[in-house]
Amino acid sequence: MTSHPVKCPHGSLKMFTLGRSRWLWYLCLCAVLPGSFCLLATGMLFPRESSSREVKDLSGLWSFRADKSPNRNQGFEKAWYKSRLAETGPVIDMAVPASFNDITQDPKLRDFIGWVWYEREVLVPSRWVTDEGTRVVLRVGSAHYYSVVWVNGVKVTEHNGGHLPFEAEIGSVIRADPKSPCRITIAVNNTLTLETLPPGTIQYFNDPTKYPDGFFVQNTNFDFFNYAGIHRPVLLYTTPKVYIDDITVVTDFLDSTGFVKYKISIQNAVEAPIKVTLMDKNRHCVASSNKSSGVLKFTDVQLWWPYLMHDNPAYLYSLEVHLMAADERSTYGDIYTVPVGIRTVHVTSTQFLINNKPFYFHGVNKHEDSDIRGKGFDWSLIVKDFNLLKWLGANSFRTSHYPYAEEILQMCDRHGIVVIDECPGVGIKDIRSFGNTSLAHHLDVMDELVRRDKNHPSVVMWSVANEPAAEMPPAEVYFKTLITHTKTLDVTRPVTYITDSNYARDRGAPYVDVICVNSYFSWYHDPGHLDVIPIQLNTQFENWYGKYQKPIIQSEYGADTVPGLHSDPPMMFTEEYQNVVLQSYHNVFDQKRKKYVVGELIWNFADFMTTQGVTRVVGNKKGVFSRQRQPKAAAFILKERYWKLANETGKIPFWTKYPCGLV
């Protein structure tokens, strides 16, 4: 029997924190690369094919088994990873990527808490196995929440956190057994604790007159279903032995001159000849260098502009890095290309500036959520959502309440959709979640998030949390540390945390660059009383601005609406009520955006699933689109407003002026 660390009744869940010696490392890197990023020891470049790199996508059918044993630990006790999963007991087909919850008809699996086991056998191209100069990397885009990974029964990695990628080099393991197919086993545990992000607790109910034996629930303080499983693609990819491990890019411009400050890290060689080429859209070289860090300077810069702010938005250059290296036996080359958008972000006391021009966020909050697949990655859904965003005239969204798939950020870069990139710091309401272990994990998650997303021009701000109980005394030090650390990681982007309308929750506010406020006047406060909105919203803005003199984004507002439910005069839950809530908020935004309000993000883009409860009728219904992406009446109100705002504040290209094919 293989023991697994830290026993807890709902399965073993090991939490690890990395040593604080990393601080020293940050300081060293900052010294050599002032004004740039300080990151984890290795990179996390998105796996892209190139002439030196191959990618094999393992999306599709996997074998699956939930460990339904009382302590959820049988899989470890019986070492399910040592043989084929089907040999350990009954398995079912499972789609990857997808949440496992809504795939079967089994209510116990839908609400399952504990370890689930995935397995897939892969035929690896023989060259990958025979060529010792090839690194073979296994990468999981994300799995919720805690994962342990084995290849052919050998543990290759584990990862703490549900929304960011992790990987392991597996070449030596598959070479040890070159004849058999490569068996990948991934155990995933969705148990949340006071120290996870988001936090949660397990509560047992032991009264036999009321509850079955072993009955327990997972309590959380966030408003979305805790979907679980392997949510993003699992890939195998190769690189040469000496390889480009990370690329960091920071951009700037002065008049028509563009600047790309870059730093490349390589692995398995102290140094190697390098060629860096910056190419425009037509693949013409605009600047080049043979140094691993430096500044590329070039003329006639084409800036990256948000959608609807310019008639040529989302211009992307390509930074091609070509590494040449040789050992005693052969010459290796590695090529990696990263898209680069040249843009700057600055914040004044009243404005949010992109490329030195005032930017007004007219956008949405989203969730990764849809029927059947839950939080599973799905290209059809992503393309549909981007079409809806553009139809709406939205220029931005917030990744409420966790980092979204990298492929989504790539779409944002390509379409000019501006992103507030949020970490999974949601539902931090218990004072015990402000302790050192929680903080250390939160810092680690920010490290991983910034490392993954630092090069996306679409990402203009980091959000470290949503509606934490920041009125609690430990919140001050917690958020000061977290925000200061995030600014150290990335000096080029502002940082915020999202507060609700409870003013006492402002202990972190002195450290943020932009105040982001969620409020639900006439919904959670004074339900049914639409006439309070103008007064209460005005008071909200004046209070926050009066106290902090920082620009403000209305980061959430809205009302639950059952599509097809009508009433006049408007009543809660009807389409008419949602319309009036939006319009009443909009009237106040129009007064305040002349002063210091720099954005409005509706809650929510689409209806989404939540845990069951008396306030949720099969999920949260505050979407302006249904969960199936059909518009409610409010979508048309929002669309009219967003296109009007774009006309006023941006420069709408002729071809997008009539997005519904009216031309």
Three-class SS of residue 154?
A: strand
Per-residue HEC secondary structure of 387-440 comes to HHHHHHCCCEEECCCCCCCHHHHHHHHHHCCEEEEECCCECCCCHHHHCHHHHH
| Cα-Cα-Cα-Cα dihedral sign, residues 115, 119, 125, 127 | positive
Nearest distance from C-beta of residue 300 to ligand BDP, angstroms: 44
Closest CB to ligand BDP among residues 136, 498: 498
Say if residues 524 and 533 touch (Cβ distance below 8 Å). Answer: no
Closest CB to ligand BDP among residues 218, 518: 518
Task: State the Rg of the chain over Cα.
Answer: 25
Nearest distance from C-beta of residue 518 to ligand BDP, angstroms: 5
Say if residues 13 and 146 touch (Cβ distance below 8 Å). Answer: yes
Q: How far is 233 from 94, CA to CA, in rounded Å?
A: 13
Q: Which residues have CB under 8 Å from 647's CB, separation 6+? A: none
Closest CB to ligand BDP among residues 189, 620: 620
Chain residues 607-626 in contact with ligand BDP, contact rule CB under 6 A: 620, 622
Chain residues 168-227 in contact with ligand BDP, contact rule CB under 6 A: 223
Closest CB to ligand BDP among residues 152, 463: 463
Nearest distance from C-beta of residue 318 to ligand BDP, angstroms: 37
- Total residues contacting ligand BDP by CB under 6 A comes to 10
Closest CB to ligand BDP among residues 222, 643: 222
Nearest distance from C-beta of residue 620 to ligand BDP, angstroms: 5
Q: Which residue spans within 12-131 are E strands per DSSP? A: 55-57, 60-66, 92-96, 115-122
Q: Binding string, 591-610, against ligand BDP, x = CB under 6 A?
A: ------------x-------
Count the neighbouring beta carbons within 10 Å of the beta carbon of residue 433.
Answer: 29
Closest CB to ligand BDP among residues 470, 646: 470
Q: Of these, 518, 574, 579, 584, which contacts ligand BDP (CB under 6 A)?
A: 518
Question: Does 422 interact with ligand BDP (rule: CB under 6 A)?
Answer: no
DSSP labels for 555-619?
A: EE----B-TT---SS--TBSHHHHHHHHHHHHHHHHHHTTTTEEEEEES-SB-B----BTTBSSS
Nearest distance from C-beta of residue 377 to ligand BDP, angstroms: 21
Nearest distance from C-beta of residue 399 to ligand BDP, angstroms: 12
Say if residues 289 and 296 touch (Cβ distance below 8 Å). Answer: yes
Nearest distance from C-beta of residue 11 to ligand BDP, angstroms: 27
Q: Of these, 119, 368, 378, 467, which contacts ligand BDP (CB under 6 A)?
A: 467
**Structure token pair of residue 365:** 């909050």
Greatest pairwise CA separation for the chain in angstroms: 82
Q: Of these, 195, 246, 506, 556, which contacts ligand BDP (CB under 6 A)?
A: 556
Chain residues 380-409 in contact with ligand BDP, contact rule CB under 6 A: 401
Q: Of these, 152, 466, 540, 554, which contacts ligand BDP (CB under 6 A)?
A: 466
Spacing of C-alpha 492 from chain mean position: 19
DSSP labels for 267-325?
A: ESSS---EEEEEE-TT--EEEEESSSEEEEEESS------TTSSSS-S--EEEEEEEEE
Judged by phi (left if over 0) then psi (alpha if -120 to 50, else beta), residue 526 lies in: left
DSSP labels for 328-366?
A: SS-EEEEEEEEEE----EEE-SS-EEETTEE--EEEEE-
Closest CB to ligand BDP among residues 380, 615: 615
H/E stretch holding 444 reads helix 436-453
* Nearest Cα to Cα of residue 141 among 57, 83, 254, 53: 57
* Nearest Cα to Cα of residue 256 among 347, 348, 342: 342
Catalytically annotated residue among 167, 467, 556, 575: 467
Nearest distance from C-beta of residue 285 to ligand BDP, angstroms: 46
Nearest distance from C-beta of residue 426 to ligand BDP, angstroms: 7
Closest CB to ligand BDP among residues 72, 622: 622
Nearest distance from C-beta of residue 622 to ligand BDP, angstroms: 5
Closest CB to ligand BDP among residues 376, 623: 623
Question: Does 500 interact with ligand BDP (rule: CB under 6 A)?
Answer: yes
H/E stretch holding 547 reads helix 533-548
Known catalytic residue at 195: no
Q: How far is 594 from 339, CA to CA, in rounded Å?
A: 35
DSSP state, residue 124: P
Count the neighbouring beta carbons within 10 Å of the beta carbon of residue 93.
Answer: 11
Closest CB to ligand BDP among residues 390, 429: 429
What are the residues binding ligand BDP (CB under 6 A)? Answer: 223, 401, 466-467, 500, 518, 556, 603, 620, 622
Active-site amino acid positions: 467
